Chain A
Amino acid sequence: MTLSEGPAAVPLLSVRGLTKLFGSFAACNAIDLDIAAGEIHALLGENGAGKSTLVKMLFGVLQPSAGQILWEGAPVTINSPGEARRLGVGMVFQHFSLFEALTVAENIALSLDPKISLSKISDEAAALSKAYGLPLDPKAHVADLSVGERQRIEIVRALLQNPRLIILDEPTSVLTPQEADRLFETLFKLKAEGRSVLYISHRLEEVRRICDRATVLRHGKVTGACDPKRETPASLARMMVGSDVAQVHRDSASALGDIGIEVTDLSVPARTPFAVSLKNISLKVRAGEVLAIAGVAGNGQGELFDTLSGEYPVTDDEAIRIRGKAVGRTGINGRRLLGAGFVPEERHGHAAVSALPLSDNLLLARSQSDKKAFLSGGFASIIRQDAIRSATRRICEAMDVRKSGEDPQAGSLSGGNLQKFIVGRELDRQPAVLVVNQPTWGVDAGAASRIRQALIDLAKAGSAVVVISQDLDEIFEVATNIAVISEGKLSDPHPAGTLTLERIGLMMGGIHESHLIPEAAHAH
């Protein structure tokens, strides 16, 4: 296969008028898309723009309601992922489907013909991973691997089918910058072989860097097709969101107040075999400050959040102080009563119960901190539905939560809207301390900028804010200080202005800062 086919060449995959209706709602509306052989094609769009629906139709998971899919010019129907694979489409999902207790080779074998022997799979996987610069040990257990390595398994798994089109869904959202660079090299290699890549992302810089063409979706429709290298991030964002994304504003100098939350030499053993133990963590956040904790997923962020929130109290009462009070042994509601608020990473089943209405989910976080307003009847604790409903309405208005109906189930909201509600639920109390884990994970650009602005405004109004995030753009937008968590250890915080993306990336990869930049470590 050659790369130099002229513009008249038949595209590898074309989509004409592809529509998917869920009831009367068009998730995809008359989408046209061409992917040429040997190109890296970006699919851009906010959450809920229809990217996933489109991709699921291309991979045979969903059936289109109308329209055509053409493979090398010939119309095809893709009824199942198996048919998609036989056609030559491979897919790497955003959320991996791997068994942690099995080895790499065993996981790959699960998706292949059961007749192929494990040793043959091992050999092929090893060969492929070498050829594409995806270092991978077929005998390693998945539980021991980093997220980047797990993604490589998914990629190798897709490559084993020798696909001509590979679809990657938000592949870099979990990678360090260095890991992402390595992935890009692999993608370029695939491209050089004449394979096509459909690259789904919301990271505009990345798309500009590696993609040859981009198709932008909004509300299920194509709103633009362009050469991303000729666009600016702002112009791409405009196509995605439809209007200019509100820029997040941060005033550089705000007066710092008292210490909001302080952690001193906190060590917590791992609760489960797959959890990370926290080692000698110390941090201090003053009112007016945003401490961002960067790090690659699975380095103890969840454990740190659980410990700071008091969902899992620790034995040393003095190790954690909120507004001067020792709270190590105090539970989450005791800490809330001291003025702290918490936003966990997982929306469904942690921050909110999907099957309960929003008003109940408001009560979930605030049944004790707002006891006076939300409960009556003393010991019987009768729930005051009217007060909770009106507070729910207030939060939805303040955060522009878009929902169907007055008090819908949390599960019926889109990720971005539910996250706005969950953050708004805490902001509504004006917490003196706010700890947020991955505030905009899987959230569309509009909602993300709103949430980030709210975090900055909260700090400016005199709260101490801790943001745990994997998104470096986000961290640089909101943070006054940045620390990095790696293997359960937290680095010293640095003022955001003194750090570069590259240096954080190296710190995230577990390379200790003092080895790299001794002069910076001694600077203060």
Chain B
Amino acid sequence: MHIELEKRARVSTLFSIFSPLLALALTLVFGVVMFWLLGKSPLGALYSFFIEPLLEVWSLHELAVKAAPLILIAVGLAICYRSNNWNIGAEGQFTIGAITGSILPVMNPEWHSPMILPLMLLMGMAGGALYAAIPALLKTRFNTNEILTSLMLVYIAQLYLDWLTRGPWRDPQGYNFPQTKSFQIEAVLPEVLSSGRAHWGFIFALVAAVALWFMMRFMLKGFQVSVLGQSERAGRFAGFSARRMVWFSMLLSGALAGLAGISEVSGSIGHLQPSISPGYGFTAIIVAFLGRLNPLGIVASGLVLALTYLGGEAAQLSIGISDKVSRVFQGLLLFFVLSCDTLIHYKIRLVVAGAKAAEVRS
């Protein structure tokens, strides 16, 4: 006996729209079960996980800090995925963007010019884009699978950052802590409001989301993305180049991930250290799919996923469970998003083994 997925003749529009909400609801249900099994009061735990962080101004700022890189990365990934290019290595592009963006403040800590910040941001974007150019080059030249190459490059980037901050870039006056000098004030991305930590990275994220939404909705470029994503052959007939689309989408998502990286380092951390991300580049994949690969949807889903990070921290403090719970929630959410989408398009059928199996094949 085995299970088969059978394509549905008709896809329910209602469920396609509500599938992210359904996935969210299912995640919460399983969250209740999980907290109950851990011996905690499920409702109390969910409250401190998902509600409490929304009640105070400072934690709303934190939400924006966490959502900024998620949204920035995810809108770029959405363009990639819509064009059928599977960049899984945003975490690496984020890291390299943070490194290249930090070159100026690390090398010239005494340079106090207003030019430094814009240059840092540009260099961060360039670094992320160049790092994404590696899988793009491998894909267009050698037909290499970009899922594998971009993912493998993540670990190279992380180890490179680790080496830099423990080796050549380590602050000599830093009591042997593996981190660079704190950035000079001109190199720090300022807060948006005086009431909290939320920095301009969040504004960049919103601008990127709106700009890419506009591109996908109204511009020929967006049309090229969706045509090539759905049928490369039809794209060729239209005179669109799939190869150039690989470059465009990979460079775009790499640049946005790089911008997220330098914004995070400059706006939120203030120096480079071996670990600069709780897995934003990977979580952004969930954000992109939960937002239905729509840049505006991604703003909403980015805030939801940012909440799971905050909730994890809060739950650690208030009910004493590991902040790994937030990873569990993210995993559950991705699982339910994908399975809801699968079940919208397919139905499950049990097939009894033996003679019948042959029929199904024919």
Binding site for B on A (CB under 8 A): 22, 80-82, 85, 97, 110-114, 309, 311, 331-333, 336, 342, 344, 346, 349-353, 355-356, 360, 363-365, 367-368, 375, 380-383
Contacts and interface: CB of A to CB of B under 8 A. Distances in A.
B108 interface: no
A331 B237 CA distance: 10
B359 A81 contact: yes
A349 B356 CA distance: 33
Interface string B227-262: 100110110111100000000000000000000000
Given A350-B233, A368-B239, A375 B220 contact: yes
A110 B362 CA distance: 7
Given A352-B234, A355-B230, A331 B239 contact: yes
A80 B359 contact: yes
Contacts of A353: 227, 230-231, 234
Contact of A344 (B226, B237, B356, B358): B237
Contacts of B57: none
A24 to B, nearest CB: 13
Nearest to A110: B361
B358 A383 contact: no
30 contacts: A81-B359, A82-B358, A97-B362, A110-B358, A110-B361, A111-B358, A111-B362, A113-B358, A309-B237, A332-B236, A332-B238, A333-B239, A346-B233, A349-B233, A350-B234, A350-B237, A353-B227, A353-B230, A353-B231, A353-B234, A356-B226, A356-B230, A360-B223, A360-B227, A363-B223, A364-B237, A364-B238, A365-B237, A381-B221, A383-B220
A438 B218 CA distance: 34
B355 interface: yes
Nearest to A332: B239
Most buried by B among A113, A311, A353: A353
Contacts of B237: 309, 311, 332, 342, 344, 350-351, 364-365
B147 interface: no
A82 B356 contact: yes
Contact of B234 (A114, A331, A349, A380): A349
B220 to A, nearest CB: 4
Given A355-B230, A364-B237, 12 more contacts: A22-B9, A111-B361, A331-B239, A332-B237, A333-B239, A342-B237, A363-B223, A364-B227, A365-B238, A367-B223, A367-B238, A382-B218
A383 B215 CA distance: 10
A228 to B, nearest CB: 31
Contacts of B226: 356
Contacts, number: 80
B348 interface: no
B104 to A, nearest CB: 31
B219 interface: yes
Contacts of A346: 233
Contacts of B220: 367, 375, 381-383
Nearest to A306: B236
A349 B231 contact: yes
Contact of A356 (B218, B227, B356): B227
A84 B227 CA distance: 41
Contacts of B362: 81, 97, 110-111
B226 to A, nearest CB: 7
Contacts of A368: 239
Nearest to B361: A110
Nearest to A361: B234
A383 B239 contact: no
Interface in B334-362: 355-359, 361-362
8 cross-chain pairs, A with B, having the tightest CB-CB distances, nearest first: A333-B239, A381-B220, A82-B359, A111-B362, A349-B231, A364-B238, A350-B233, A332-B239
Nearest to B362: A111
Given A360-B223, A367-B223, A383-B218, A112 B238 contact: no
Contacts of A311: 236-237
Given A364-B237, A383-B220, A82 B355 contact: yes
Considering residues B9, B357, B359, which has the most beta carbons from chain A within 10 angstroms of its beta carbon? B359
Contacts of A382: 218-220
Contacts of A352: 234
B79 to A, nearest CB: 16
Given A356-B227, A381-B219, A364 B234 contact: yes
Contacts of B239: 331-333, 336, 367-368
A91 to B, nearest CB: 9
Contacts of B357: 114
A428 B277 CA distance: 55
Most chain A beta-carbon neighbours within 10 Å: one of B218, B226, B237, B356: B237
